[in-house]
Structure 1
Amino acid sequence: MSDSAENIPAPPQKRNRMPWIVTAAAAIVAFLYFTPGLFVAYTEDAYVRSDFVEVAPEVAGVVDRVDIADNQKVDVGTALAGIDPQPFKLAVDLSQKRIDGAQSAANVKQDEARTLAAELDSAQAAVTLAQKEYDRAAALVKDQSVSQAAMDRAVDDRQKALDEVAKQEAKVRVNAGEVAAALAEVDVAKAELALAQYNLSRTNLVAPVPGYVTNLSLRPGAYAKAGVPIVGLVDDTQWRVVANFKEYVASRLEPGMRAWVWLDSHPWRLFPARVTGIGRGISRDETAGRLLPYVAPTTDWIRLSRRMQVTLVLDPKPDIPLFMGADARVLLFP
């Protein structure tokens, strides 16, 4: 009986297939994760964007009227708001009065210049006459027809005439400087008037672009500061979609590529689009005031993946309302 037990073959040992199963599963997951990216570019990190125009007054003052309502559509040149023009009208009137005063002062100096010019002509004529008397006296002295005293008087008269000419010429030079200064004051006053008129024209704020008024809180009586925005407009002509693609995907995209865009504001529809640009840089620091955009990295698995901005336009532009900041999804086949 013991011999028969020894002759019974041992059962075969079962192989451990778990490592193979895990390896196969990892290979399948890796294939599904990496392979589609070679043929399909897709991102849910996209949004609708346009230009947001902040309208700021060029002059400071009290807002006396608001011509628009929140969310109103406006065209180029549509009146938005107005600043009380009365102080600026007074500045224009004051500048005009300054011009009148400066012009009057310049006219007085110019009249004085003409008077001095006439006096200079008279003085020069007196010099000519005195020179003739001097020449005559000198000739008579040689002939001993007149006394030396007469000759001395002729010399004195000629010198006085010459001194008078020099005096008048000095007055003319001084007056010429005064005329130039007066005319310069007129020019300055005219420039001040032009500036006052320009400031008056800036009391009316108009829309620089067609679009929609957004988040309006302006009311009459508010004080507007120069250079501080008081009205915001969403430009209705600059709609685009900004999609953040992983860097290895963005590197394979080119302007002109066709794409499909899903808009969360209009779900269950795919809109044709076209790539217009691929951003060449992002900021790695979330710091305000930088010209480079900051794109928050994703947290797929462990390694944080950087994303580059890709700009697309809907082509053709659909006849639907678009909303700045609305979510979108983008699909491409690079």
Structure 2
Amino acid sequence: MTHRLRGALIAIATVAALAALVLWLNRPQPLPVLAQAAERGRVEASVSNTRAGEVEACQRTRLSTILGGRIDYLGIKEGDRVEAGQVLMRLWHQDLSARAQVAEAQLATAKSRAHEACTVAVNAEREAERQEALAARGFVSASRVESARTDAEARRAACTSAHADMATAERQLAAADIDLGRIVIVAPFAGTVAKITGELGEYSTPSPPGVPTPPAIDLIDDSCLYVKAPMDEVDAPRIRPGMTARVSVDALPGRHFEATVRRVAPFVSAQERQARTVDIDVDFASQDEARGLLVGYSADVEIVLDSRDDVLRIPSSALRGGNTVLVIGADGVLEERALQTGVANWEYTEVAAGLAEGERVVTSLEREGVRPGARAVPETTNTR
């Protein structure tokens, strides 16, 4: 080989090497993607409320007096704990008290008259019996006996009438006591005073029909709590009392409370034309665990419809249209794979077929360039 030919070959080799280097330097870089390996675990099918639910008290009553009047006694303040039967508020009632005192006096008088009349009746009956005994022995006439018997019957009628007057007086006193009860608010159960409308000396007005007047006292039994939440009308037919639920409260991020569905409303609420929901009530599994939650806290409810243990699962965020996923192959090329899926929720989806344990699926589908055939490199791999 001549010197000139050898130089040409070297030049060609150098150019080829440079071209290869340029091509290698300009090659498409693998796309960084988020990926997660298919793993075995628990998957639940669940539904959640469409709008925020609310922590409610099992017992809550908004109390008002039956009659209106000036507040004469207010023995509580907001936040106080009260016992069942405790007097919370009383209106001015001197007029009603006076009527009750009159009824008491009338009852006392009626009892005295009844005692007197009945005592006289007993004596008259005994006298009639003596006259009958004397007449039988011929000592008195028949007319004397008849007169004694008539007097005894009249005295007995007077006794009966006096007892009727006494019963009337008792009813009048009971009516007076009922009137006094119309101006008093008594706690129907033990609880916490949430709100008081009115101050000592102010006029308290009961709420007439059709007029939303604020109650005088809002009383809450916070020893028993539950959550009321609106569910989409599409999900409602799948929810049954007794199903397991989980409650999360915005005020306590990261905490979950076990619960059970107690009630599914038998009607649809239409807050807006496009927002039709069905209210459900869920009871906390442990009232001790729920103690300390405030009535009115916003809460979310997740209801478990079905569950599978120890099944192959992938993040639900990895699913594409038609139940397909992008799998990172051994050569780093993204491969589209069709799956047969089972139970699913917003977090995980069960894989019945189409994927092996350990294979990595792409979860960052929104990134530009992520498509079948693209080269990719896992940015991070999680196994949870």
Contact 2:67 / 2:205 at 8 angstroms: preserved in 1?
yes
Using a 3 Å threshold, how does the CA distance of structure 1 residues 231 and 307 change in structure 2: closer, same or farther?
Answer: same
Offset at residue 100 of structure 1 (A): 2.5
Contact 2:196 / 2:218 at 8 angstroms: preserved in 1?
yes
Contact 2:239 / 2:264 at 8 angstroms: preserved in 1?
no
Q: What CA distance in whole angstroms lies between the structure 2 residues aligned with 1:312 and 1:118?
A: 74
Written as runs of structure 1 = structure 2, the 5 A alignment for 1:32-111 is: 39-48=45-54, 49-50=56-57, 51-57=59-65, 61-70=69-78, 72-77=79-84, 78-84=86-92, 86-111=94-119
Q: What CA distance in whole angstroms lies between the structure 2 residues aligned with 1:111 and 1:320?
A: 66
1:120 to 128, 144, 147: 128
Offset at residue 249 of structure 1 (A): 1.8
Offset at residue 111 of structure 1 (A): 4.0
Offset at residue 279 of structure 1 (A): 1.5
- What is residue 230 of structure 2 aligned with on the other side? 244
Query: What amino acid sits opposite 1:261 in the alignment?
Result: V
What is the TM-score of this pair, normalised by structure 2? 0.54
Written as runs of structure 1 = structure 2, the 5 A alignment for 1:266-281 is: 266=251, 268-281=253-266
- What is residue 329 of structure 1 aligned with on the other side? 300
Structure in which a larger fraction of residues adopt helix: 1
- What is residue 178 of structure 1 aligned with on the other side? 158
Offset at residue 94 of structure 1 (A): 2.0
Offset at residue 182 of structure 1 (A): 0.7
**Identity %, equivalent residues:** 19
Is 2:317 the partner of 1:310? no
Deviations along 1:182-236, one digit per CA (max 9) or x if unpaired, are 1222233244445545665776534333444334222223445678752112331
Moved over 4 A (4+): 58-61, 194-204, 223-229
Deviations along 1:297-325, one digit per CA (max 9) or x if unpaired, are 563xxxxx64222222344434544232x
Moved more, 306-315 or 53-62: 53-62
- What is residue 198 of structure 2 aligned with on the other side? 218
Contact 1:278 / 1:310 at 8 angstroms: preserved in 2?
yes
- What is residue 16 of structure 1 aligned with on the other side? none
Q: Residue 90 of structure 1 aligns to a residue in which SS?
A: helix
- What is residue 244 of structure 2 aligned with on the other side? 258
- What is residue 24 of structure 1 aligned with on the other side? none
Q: Residue 209 of structure 1 aligns to a residue in which SS?
A: coil
Query: What amino acid sits opposite 2:194 in the alignment?
Result: T
Contact 2:232 / 2:278 at 8 angstroms: preserved in 1?
yes
Written as runs of structure 1 = structure 2, the 5 A alignment for 1:144-155 is: none
Offset at residue 180 of structure 1 (A): 0.9
2:169 to 167, 189, 206: 189
Moved more, 58-67 or 45-54: 58-67
Structure in which a larger fraction of residues adopt strand: 2
- What is residue 308 of structure 2 aligned with on the other side? none
Q: Residue 145 of structure 2 aligns to a residue in which SS?
A: helix
- What is residue 25 of structure 2 aligned with on the other side? none
Q: Residue 184 of structure 1 aligns to a residue in which SS?
A: helix
- What is residue 27 of structure 1 aligned with on the other side? none
Gaps spanning 5+ residues in structure 1: where? 1-37, 133-157, 284-293, 300-304
Written as runs of structure 1 = structure 2, the 5 A alignment for 1:3-14 is: none
Offset at residue 165 of structure 1 (A): 1.9
Q: Residue 45 of structure 1 aligns to a residue in which SS?
A: coil
Offset at residue 74 of structure 1 (A): 1.8
Q: What CA distance in whole angstroms lies between the structure 2 residues aligned with 1:193 and 1:101?
A: 13
Q: What CA distance in whole angstroms lies between the structure 2 residues aligned with 1:104 and 1:227?
A: 43
Q: What CA distance in whole angstroms lies between the structure 1 residues aligned with 2:169 and 2:73?
A: 31
Q: What CA distance in whole angstroms lies between the structure 2 residues aligned with 1:114 and 1:272?
A: 75
- What is residue 296 of structure 1 aligned with on the other side? 271
Using a 3 Å threshold, how does the CA distance of structure 1 residues 116 and 53 change in structure 2: closer, same or farther?
Answer: same
Query: What amino acid sits opposite 2:81 in the alignment?
Result: V
Q: What CA distance in whole angstroms lies between the structure 2 residues aligned with 1:69 and 1:108?
A: 52
Using a 3 Å threshold, how does the CA distance of structure 1 residues 267 and 211 change in structure 2: closer, same or farther?
Answer: same
Deviations along 1:277-308, one digit per CA (max 9) or x if unpaired, are 2425115xxxxxxxxxx343563xxxxx6422
User: What count of residue pairs does the alignment treat as equivalent?
Assistant: 251
Using a 3 Å threshold, how does the CA distance of structure 1 residues 86 and 268 change in structure 2: closer, same or farther?
Answer: same
Contact 2:265 / 2:280 at 8 angstroms: preserved in 1?
no
Using a 3 Å threshold, how does the CA distance of structure 1 residues 255 and 164 change in structure 2: closer, same or farther?
Answer: same
What is the TM-score of this pair, normalised by structure 1? 0.61
